[in-house]
Structure 1
Amino acid sequence: MQKSNQFALFAQRRFSPFFWTQFLGALNDNVFKTALLTILTYDALSWTTMDTGLLNNLIPGLFILPFFLFSATSGQLADKLEKGRVARFVKLLEIAIMGIAAYGWMTHHLWLLVAAVVGMGIHSTIFGPVKYAYLPQQLKREELIGGNGLIEMGTFVGILLGEILGAVLVVHKPWGLQLVAGATLGFAVLGWLASLGIPNSPAPAPELKVNWNPFTETVRNLGFSRRNRPVFLSLLGNSWFWFYGAIMLAQFPMYAKNYLHGDHGVFVLLLAIFSVGIGAGSLLCERLSGHKVEIGLVPFGSIGLSVFGVELYLASRGYATPGGVVDVAGFLAQGGSWRILLDCLGIGVFGGLYIVPLFALIQTRCDPAHVSRTIAGMNIMNALFMVVAALVAMVLLKAGLSIPEIFLATAVMNALVAFYIFSLVPEFLIRFLAWLLIHTFYRVRITNGEAIPAHGAGVIVCNHVSYVDAIAIMAASPRPVRFVMDHQIFKFPVLSWVFRNARAIPIAPVKENPWLTEKAFVDIAQALHEGELVCIFPEGKLTRDGELNPFRGGVLKIIERTPVPVLPMALRGLWGSLLSRDPSNPFARTFKRGLFSRLELVVGEPIPPGEVTPELLQEKVKALRGQWK
């Protein structure tokens, strides 16, 4: 079945009004914040005598402080109340806050504007759990990665347009302040109008008793999230991204002014390029992941964040400093300017590839009745990391580091943190290696992938064509799969690390090692009892002619112990590859196939355990494979 393009969601009421609600909120946040930061950077003496570098790091910190204080309560409300109702309340609150801010702009009252920054932080705190808990409630599983990509794209396009509008409007003479005040009020009203179209989204836990103590609820929320290790470490990985982004983006105003010697247009250009990169990376996720939650993209994104962070430091050192202040055209004419822009774009693209799969994993693997509170727990950690980021940036500046050196330090810290997280959850790295190996050499297609159950135990049976069959299935499945493999292959040097961390189950022939055989069946039963997917190759050996070998009876022994559905699959296109047992000349056939040869995984419908026989499974797999080997 041909999967619809993610942009088709814009024509549907279950997505479009919500998208525009969150888009206008992100837009308005950034019109307001950027206008304030711009006026403090380029016209500071008219507003305050405080150090502008300190204010540029303090104001973003104040914006995210409410996330730390009130996210736990917001998560409970989002689980208890209908989400459309919460969204409409948030939009009315935004109108009130922007009214206060408008008065602050007109009266030249800095601290009233700072109070509005905190107010918008509260507005975003309440909306955050709704934003990400709404999607898994309204979208199908195969739509989730595309929907998240659109939401992230919309968020950062909103950020981009907000930053451009905020920076441009506020310096417009003589009506800059009035334009900002009117625009922010207008966007708030438009956001409320969009929220009226959000369809009913029933509360998953309407009987929930709200704990109004944010501190005890925060502790309880984080404790609940810790029970699911992959989800909790994904929350940490998500929070680290916001730490990274908070440090990098907070330096852009002073970087543009003091290091690049640009006017506010150069600052806007840097933000625009970064935001375009985030949007592009978010949209690329659906194409690269094949409509499934592909966490293998997370290490890919993390590597890019470090590489381009270091490269931005090097590019800054090679920048030809102009003699005076330059506008955008003057900046682009300087030696090294295009390299700096390319690095900002790269950071954005890989940031999108990093963050979207993490959101989708959290949404799909946490308790459906606890999604909002899980997202709230993530927002608490995000806030904590971003507050720490603001403090770290201020400490580094006070210690005498230049802004490019802060970029370098952040990139190095990202590499260390990524290594730590991926060592704790090797699934991320293994999925990355599987995705990289398969997609580097093959054009992969999955047919009927939606038949793979989103939850619950099952046994996968598949034909055995090559040495990379398990990697192909691993790369195609949206869920982790436990593979049963020959114990000799399991002990193969170097690869044994991959197999152990993928939690493969080694098995031996009964005559060779009866204890290991029995242990394998016990491990399989335990995995199925815990609701996991287990894959076996019932032929027991690689095909030597491309045809199926007789299926053995091990699958019957498995489902006798643990009656679960059996899911037939067929790999098509691997016979004749270098890693198959095709007897013909390996170099000739590899040259004939060429790079990026086609590979297809065809998924059948689950078979109830009471109907399973080796002969039926072989017939199903052979039919799925067809004539293409």
Structure 2
Amino acid sequence: MSHPSQFSLLRKRRFLPFFVTQSLGALNDNLFKQSLILAILYKLSIDGDRGIWVNLCALLFILPFFLFSALAGQFGEKYAKDRLIRLIKLGEIAIMLVGAMGFAFDHLALMLVALFAMGTHSALFGPVKYSILPQTLHEDELVGGNGLVEMGTFLSILAGTIGAGVMLSTSHYTTVVSVVIVSVAVLGYLTSRAIPRAPADTPDLRLNWNIFSESWATLRMGLNQTPAVSRSVVGNSWFWFVGAIYLTQIPAYAKDWLYGDETVVTLILTVFSVGIALGSMLCEKLSGRKVEIGLVPFGSFGLTLFGLLLWWHSGQMPQNIQANDWLGVLGFSQAWWVLLDILGLGIFGGFYIVPLYALIQSRTAEHERARVIAANNILNALFMVVSAIVTIVLLGMAKLTIPELFLVVSLMNIAVNAYIFKIVPEFSMRFMIWLLGHSMYRVEHKGLEVIPEEGAALLVCNHVSFVDALLIGGAVRRPIRFVMYYKIYNLPVLNFIFRTAGTIPIAGRAEDEVIYEQAFRRIAEYLNDGELVCIFPEGKLTTDGQISEFKAGVTRILECTPVPVIPMALQGLWGSFFSRDPDKGIFRRLWSRVTLIAGTAMAANEATQKKLRERVTELRGDVL
């Protein structure tokens, strides 16, 4: 069954107005902030070190995320999100009018007040921005929607950075900047009026106006979620730690290591932003339209790899050359390697960040979602401040070069993510499943929409290879508890995946009665808890590609816990490396095309051994 791409969301009213509104907000943030920084550096009459004023701008913009994110999280749950967005966008117009007055009269204090207010605007908008997506998108649209939002955000950041440079290069820059920032704010408000109603999650929530106690409570709430969510919050903030270091060092890196002018800075920012956009867009295709956290270790690996390559390829430009514009730099082959490394950082950054946002949204309770995202914003701001301190220490006190800083960050990335993946082995488990389904096998799905989004069900499938459970687990959106012969369960490497996924080992009654009885107790517990359980009723791998008789275990399960039964069949696995085909080979069936088919659900009283085998055989057909 074919699905429309994520770009089809741009034709839907429940997404497009929000997407345009948030992209315009990110654009205006960077138009104003970058214009102010350039004005301080090149236009305004200022006494003292201009660098101090630039750093003050960075502080004023990030400080509201510490102060007001917790309050924003409460607002995002207590009030209707569509109305809240419109109110925030009205505030943006007022803020930009103040900023425009600052530019018109060369009044630095007014500009700084407006910058702090824009930081407040962004802090208030953040929790609403990410908590509204699960409310307006279907589950299979969540990854694609987040990918579009990340793409829009980074391209808007790029457009704002470039646009500010263009505006400041004009002779009447004060008028141009004033008109543009106010116009973008007005346009953002107008598009926000088309956002459909998104009701409050917790309208009776009592607001705590003490920003310090509430910030601490919000941070604790975010870090006291399930391990997968809390470590996703940490992983998300770590991404901004790494990203802040790279983005902050780009101007100096372009000047000192590529011998380029300001156009080279723009080139690098463009390549990085395009990389993030590409990675974000590819997430939906690579994840099969579901929240696939297996992409997070893949993204982490790429961030480390391309960070190390960027260090390796730095310093290879010819020495003693004049400052080049971007076309001049592209004339050197060494610069192409650097740009390729930066593109890789962006692409794998997209693979890393989009699934984390989607997981936080999908696995957080509705009445806490906005506050958990607020906690994430507070932690993001904290990590970005720490990244600035680490950069000062390593470049200033430790006397590292910028490429050596990139090397240290890449090695730190290994350590931080190894900790996250150790605490939450589900990341590594899902990565191994994802890797298997995108290397040795090409898995197609048919009819999987019959599997319920929630509630208990028993999945029944033929058993062809040692990796059947991995392929099914990678195809179905919901977590599945597999019942598996204990000797397969204990296989090296695969045992890590099976244990992490909550697989149930089983043995024949005559073989080990303790394991046998324990397995049926756990099956009943999982089904009573509303989970999916998958069994292979043949009780063994096929030795000839055919479907053997079904054992009586399925009858015992349904007698104890009568739940809907969904017959399934695997096609194309016989003859692959992990099957028992005597003529199999490692390369003969490499990248095998495998199809997983699900049939109509059967009531528990209809699902006899004979009928289930007939249904599974019918679904499998003649394709072994």
For residue 76 of structure 1, what is the aligned residue in structure 2?
74
For residue 489 of structure 2, what is the aligned residue in structure 1?
490
TM normalised by structure 2 equals 0.94
Of stretches 544-553 and 14-23 in structure 1, the one that deviates more from structure 2 is 544-553
Which of residues 288, 297, 300 in structure 1 aligns to 2:298? 300
For residue 158 of structure 1, what is the aligned residue in structure 2?
156
Verify the 8 A CA contact 1:88 1:192 in the aligned structure 2.
yes
Deviation per residue, 1:336-373 (Å, 9 max, x gap): 21111111111100011111111111121111232222
For residue 220 of structure 1, what is the aligned residue in structure 2?
217
For residue 116 of structure 1, what is the aligned residue in structure 2?
114
Deviation per residue, 1:139-189 (Å, 9 max, x gap): 11111111111111111111121121122222x142234322322111111
Deviation per residue, 1:304-338 (Å, 9 max, x gap): 11111111122222233453322212222245211
Verify the 8 A CA contact 2:79 2:199 in the aligned structure 1.
yes
Deviation at 1:73, TM superposition (A): 1.4
In structure 2, relative to structure 1, the CA distance for the partners of 1:434 and 1:138 (3 Å cut) is same
Matched, 1:9 2:6: no
For residue 460 of structure 2, what is the aligned residue in structure 1?
461
In structure 2, relative to structure 1, the CA distance for the partners of 1:213 and 1:616 (3 Å cut) is farther
Matching of residues 537-556 of structure 1 within 5 Å:
537-556=536-555
For residue 532 of structure 1, what is the aligned residue in structure 2?
531
Verify the 8 A CA contact 1:58 1:390 in the aligned structure 2.
no
In structure 2, relative to structure 1, the CA distance for the partners of 1:448 and 1:218 (3 Å cut) is farther
Matched, 1:137 2:132: no
In structure 2, relative to structure 1, the CA distance for the partners of 1:37 and 1:321 (3 Å cut) is farther
- SS for the counterpart of 1:60 is helix
In structure 2, relative to structure 1, the CA distance for the partners of 1:623 and 1:141 (3 Å cut) is farther
For residue 288 of structure 2, what is the aligned residue in structure 1?
290
- SS for the counterpart of 2:580 is coil
Deviation at 1:222, TM superposition (A): 3.4
Of stretches 371-380 and 529-538 in structure 1, the one that deviates more from structure 2 is 529-538
Matched, 1:596 2:591: yes
For residue 622 of structure 1, what is the aligned residue in structure 2?
617
Deviation at 1:597, TM superposition (A): 2.9
Deviation per residue, 1:254-292 (Å, 9 max, x gap): 222344332221111111110000000000011111111
Verify the 8 A CA contact 2:310 2:341 in the aligned structure 1.
yes
For residue 29 of structure 1, what is the aligned residue in structure 2?
29
Matched, 1:210 2:207: yes
- SS for the counterpart of 2:206 is coil
Verify the 8 A CA contact 1:104 1:110 in the aligned structure 2.
yes
Matching of residues 321-332 of structure 1 within 5 Å:
321-332=319-330
Verify the 8 A CA contact 1:30 1:163 in the aligned structure 2.
yes
For residue 448 of structure 1, what is the aligned residue in structure 2?
447
Instruction: State the AA in 2 paired with 1:152.
Output: E
In structure 2, relative to structure 1, the CA distance for the partners of 1:518 and 1:4 (3 Å cut) is same
Verify the 8 A CA contact 1:298 1:358 in the aligned structure 2.
yes
In structure 2, relative to structure 1, the CA distance for the partners of 1:359 and 1:611 (3 Å cut) is farther
In structure 2, relative to structure 1, the CA distance for the partners of 1:204 and 1:17 (3 Å cut) is same
In structure 2, relative to structure 1, the CA distance for the partners of 1:449 and 1:386 (3 Å cut) is farther
Verify the 8 A CA contact 2:567 2:599 in the aligned structure 1.
yes
Deviation per residue, 1:109-149 (Å, 9 max, x gap): 44433332221211111111111111111111111111111
Verify the 8 A CA contact 2:82 2:198 in the aligned structure 1.
yes
Aligned-partner Cα distance in 2 for 1:251–1:385:
16
| Unmatched 5+ stretches in structure 1 | none
For residue 419 of structure 2, what is the aligned residue in structure 1?
420
Aligned-partner Cα distance in 1 for 2:304–2:39:
31
Deviation per residue, 1:74-112 (Å, 9 max, x gap): 112111211111111111111112122222223334443
Instruction: State the AA in 2 paired with 1:421.
Output: I
For residue 176 of structure 2, what is the aligned residue in structure 1?
179
- SS for the counterpart of 1:333 is coil
In structure 2, relative to structure 1, the CA distance for the partners of 1:560 and 1:66 (3 Å cut) is farther
Aligned-partner Cα distance in 2 for 1:39–1:448:
59
Matching of residues 182-581 of structure 1 within 5 Å:
182-225=179-222, 226-399=224-397, 400-581=399-580
Deviation at 1:561, TM superposition (A): 3.8
Which of residues 112, 128, 146 in structure 1 aligns to 2:126? 128
Of stretches 301-310 and 531-540 in structure 1, the one that deviates more from structure 2 is 531-540
Instruction: State the AA in 2 paired with 1:426.
Output: P
Instruction: State the AA in 2 paired with 1:359.
Output: Y
Verify the 8 A CA contact 1:56 1:250 in the aligned structure 2.
no
Deviation at 1:435, TM superposition (A): 1.0
- SS for the counterpart of 2:460 is strand
Of stretches 610-619 and 410-419 in structure 1, the one that deviates more from structure 2 is 610-619
Of stretches 517-526 and 273-282 in structure 1, the one that deviates more from structure 2 is 517-526
Aligned-partner Cα distance in 2 for 1:115–1:627:
72
Of stretches 86-95 and 399-408 in structure 1, the one that deviates more from structure 2 is 399-408
Of stretches 71-80 and 330-339 in structure 1, the one that deviates more from structure 2 is 330-339
Deviation at 1:57, TM superposition (A): 5.3
Aligned-partner Cα distance in 1 for 2:237–2:538:
45
- SS for the counterpart of 1:317 is coil
Verify the 8 A CA contact 2:144 2:281 in the aligned structure 1.
yes
In structure 2, relative to structure 1, the CA distance for the partners of 1:457 and 1:216 (3 Å cut) is farther
Verify the 8 A CA contact 1:446 1:476 in the aligned structure 2.
yes
Deviation at 1:424, TM superposition (A): 0.8
Deviation per residue, 1:35-75 (Å, 9 max, x gap): 3344455x3884453363x6655533432222222112111
Aligned-partner Cα distance in 1 for 2:89–2:592:
51
Aligned-partner Cα distance in 2 for 1:24–1:292:
28
| Unmatched 5+ stretches in structure 2 | none
- SS for the counterpart of 1:464 is coil
Aligned-partner Cα distance in 1 for 2:203–2:530:
27
Verify the 8 A CA contact 1:260 1:321 in the aligned structure 2.
no
Instruction: State the AA in 2 paired with 1:24.
Output: L
Verify the 8 A CA contact 1:65 1:387 in the aligned structure 2.
no
Aligned-partner Cα distance in 2 for 1:58–1:561:
67
Deviation per residue, 1:572-617 (Å, 9 max, x gap): 211222222234x224x953x5x43321112234444454333333
Verify the 8 A CA contact 1:61 1:386 in the aligned structure 2.
no
Aligned-partner Cα distance in 1 for 2:133–2:110:
35
Aligned-partner Cα distance in 2 for 1:620–1:166:
64
Aligned-partner Cα distance in 1 for 2:61–2:127:
17
What RMSD, in angstroms, separates the aligned Cα atoms of the two structures? 2.2
In structure 2, relative to structure 1, the CA distance for the partners of 1:590 and 1:397 (3 Å cut) is closer
- SS for the counterpart of 1:368 is coil
Instruction: State the AA in 1 paired with 2:377.
Output: N
Instruction: State the AA in 1 paired with 2:84.
Output: V
Of stretches 30-39 and 412-421 in structure 1, the one that deviates more from structure 2 is 30-39
Verify the 8 A CA contact 2:433 2:470 in the aligned structure 1.
yes
Of stretches 455-464 and 268-277 in structure 1, the one that deviates more from structure 2 is 455-464
Deviation at 1:514, TM superposition (A): 1.0
- SS for the counterpart of 2:116 is helix
- SS for the counterpart of 1:535 is strand
- SS for the counterpart of 1:445 is strand
Aligned-partner Cα distance in 2 for 1:465–1:373:
46
Of stretches 19-28 and 329-338 in structure 1, the one that deviates more from structure 2 is 329-338
Of stretches 526-535 and 377-386 in structure 1, the one that deviates more from structure 2 is 526-535
